[in-house]
Amino acid sequence: MKQSLLFAPTLRDMPKEAEVTSHKILLKGGYIKQSAAGVYSYLPLGYKIIKKIENIIREELDKIGCSELLMPALQSKDLWVESGRWEAYGKELMRLEDRHERSFCLGPTHEEVITSVVRDFISSYKKLPLALYQIQTKFRDEFRPRFGLMRGREFIMKDLYTFHANEEDLDVWYLKVRKAYQNILDRMDLHYRIVRADSGNIGGSSSEEFMILCDIGEDTIVYSDSSDFASNLELYDLKVGDPSPDGVGHILHAKGIEAGHIFKLGTKYSSPMKANFVDRDGVSKPIIMGCYGMGISRLLMAILEQHYRDEKAIWPKQVRPFDVHVLPLDKEETPNFMTALDLYKALKEKGIEVLFDDRTESAGVKFKDADLIGIRHRIVVGRRANEGIFEYKDIKEDITKEITLDELLTMDYKL
Ligand code: ATP
Ligand code: MG
């Protein structure tokens, strides 16, 4: 698309409120704009990446048999009283009243709603298992919103819930979702570690977190230097050098950003909310559940936190906003600009996602903005364009070279 129509309002100076590099780049590059503490607008560039993240998640979940639905953000108090969480959830729950003084909350998570949806339709083991997910805005009145999208008060989450007739089936699905999560994070070129975790406000018997390894992470991971043992520090108070609890090796520490959290809920919600089914043996039992969250807006920032160099973005290929960035150095209606426009059209016709910098800006501004947008393949249409020679820059490998039109037209931009 033409960059003049993109609306990526870049800033010249570093925003003062940003403490971490990914947040700086997102603000400076015009990906997001803060609206209130912990509340953001996703501008077109940021939203384009959000949609790519969402689609990767959709593809991997649909592949294992999950179905997407969309539940309301506005949830009635009655449901939360049924589960016992209206009191238990505390101040993080955003509560409100309607004009008839009926109480509601803005959903921080959806165990209550999904359980109430399913209980009215699933009465027999013949209808199980079932796996339902949504991608939706969540609300949590976090005590300390910080690091931009990392800890917001309004944020985008994918939440999946599974329903089973027995524990064995839950175990099978838990592992399927765990593998899907690995595929999702692998497709975003993330370095992460799966760790044992505290089930917190959501509850249930056991849970694991997917931690993106990063110095700015708020969580501390304790792990063995010689086995698979890895846990959130919340569960085991282990110091560096302590023997690992599994008897193999010694403990190291690392910082992590929690991207996802998967739980075996068991009957924590189905029992109090009376979501029962009649089993093969004719006996009525509470449905066994699992739940699986993934922070989509948090991922936007976490991906960038692992993919920048010198405060310049380098987006991984499956989430980058465009595949190629074409920059003419001369203004509109010059031969140089027309050559660039032809190149843009030719690449677009090949089905490549191209961003064409048609703006009336100096070369310096165009380069600075391109560094913030972070598209791997950059083509500069410069002085030698009239001879058919272009400048190609691979920002991932940090290589710049002169290249001919033929080479440009046959290059693999999906890399
Ligand atoms: P945290 O320990 O970071 O508060 P949590 O355990 O409360 O996370 P879950 O309730 O398991 O989080 O939510 C699922 C996912 O939603 C998390 O793994 C995280 O990626 C994302 N998430 C949770 N809280 C926030 C937030 N305030 N802002 C952005 N994303 C969030
Ligand atoms: Mg939390």
The whole-number pLDDT of residue 71 equals: 98
Answer for the pair 264, 204: CB distance below 8 angstroms, yes or no.
yes
Q: Which atom of ligand 1 is nearest to the CA of 259?
A: 20
- pTM tops 0.85: yes
Nearest-ligand number for the alpha carbon of 198: 1
Residue whose token pair is 């309004």? 154
- pLDDT band of residue 15 (cuts 50, 70, 90) is confident
The whole-number pLDDT of residue 204 equals: 67
- pLDDT band of residue 14 (cuts 50, 70, 90) is confident
Q: What 3-state DSSP class applies to 56?
A: helix
Mean pLDDT computed over 127-138? 98
CATH class of segment(s) 324-410? alpha beta
Two tokens, residue 179: 């593998």
Distance of CA 147 to the CA centre of its chain: 15
Residue 188 burial (10 A CB sphere; 0-12, 13-18, 19+): buried
Nearest-ligand number for the alpha carbon of 141: 1
The β-bridge relationship of strands 324-328 and 389-394 is unpaired
- pLDDT band of residue 212 (cuts 50, 70, 90) is very high
Backbone φ, ψ for residue 186 (5° rounding): -65, -40
Mutate to test the pocket of ligand 1, among 258, 300, 303, 305 (most ligand atoms within 8 A of CB): 258
Q: Which atom of ligand 1 is nearest to the CA of 197?
A: 6
Q: What is the pLDDT of residues 223-256, one digit of tens each?
A: 999 999 999 999 999 999 999 999 999 999 999 9
Nearest-ligand number for the alpha carbon of 219: 1
pLDDT above 90 (res 198): no
Residue nearest to ligand 1 atom 23, measured at CA: 295
Residue nearest to ligand 1 atom 8, measured at CA: 258
Q: Which atom of ligand 1 is nearest to the CA of 257?
A: 3
Give bridge partners of residue 87 from the DSSP assignment. none
The whole-number pLDDT of residue 410 equals: 94
Residue nearest to ligand 1 atom 24, measured at CA: 151
Angle in degrees, CA 302, 257, 131, rounded to 5: 90
pLDDT above 90 (res 343): yes
Domain spans of the chain?
3-307, 324-410
pLDDT above 80 (res 407): yes
The whole-number pLDDT of residue 16 equals: 82
The whole-number pLDDT of residue 200 equals: 73
Q: What is the pLDDT of residues 371-386, one digit of tens each?
A: 999 999 999 999 999 9
Q: What is the pLDDT of residues 263-299, one digit of tens each?
A: 999 999 999 999 999 999 999 999 999 999 999 999 9
pLDDT above 90 (res 199): no
Answer for the pair 135, 54: CB distance below 8 angstroms, yes or no.
yes
What is the dihedral angle through the alpha carbons of 361, 366, 372, 375, rounded to the nearest 10 degrees?
A: 130
- What percent of the chain has pLDDT above 70? 99
- pLDDT band of residue 319 (cuts 50, 70, 90) is very high
Looking at per-residue confidence, does 114 or 202 come out higher? 114
Mean pLDDT computed over 291-318? 97
Mean pLDDT computed over 23-40? 96
Return d(Cα 155, Cα 148) in angstroms, integer: 10
Mutate to test the pocket of ligand 1, among 54, 184, 185, 298 (most ligand atoms within 8 A of CB): 298
- What percent of the chain has pLDDT above 90? 93
CATH class of segment(s) 3-307? alpha beta
The whole-number pLDDT of residue 337 equals: 96
Mean pLDDT computed over 17-23? 92
The whole-number pLDDT of residue 62 equals: 98
- pLDDT band of residue 203 (cuts 50, 70, 90) is low
Mutate to test the pocket of ligand 1, among 112, 156, 261 (most ligand atoms within 8 A of CB): 261
Average pLDDT, the chain: 96
Residue 214 burial (10 A CB sphere; 0-12, 13-18, 19+): buried
Q: Residues with Cβ within 6 A of ligand 1?
A: 109, 140, 142, 151-152, 155, 157, 200, 202, 258-261, 293-295, 297-298
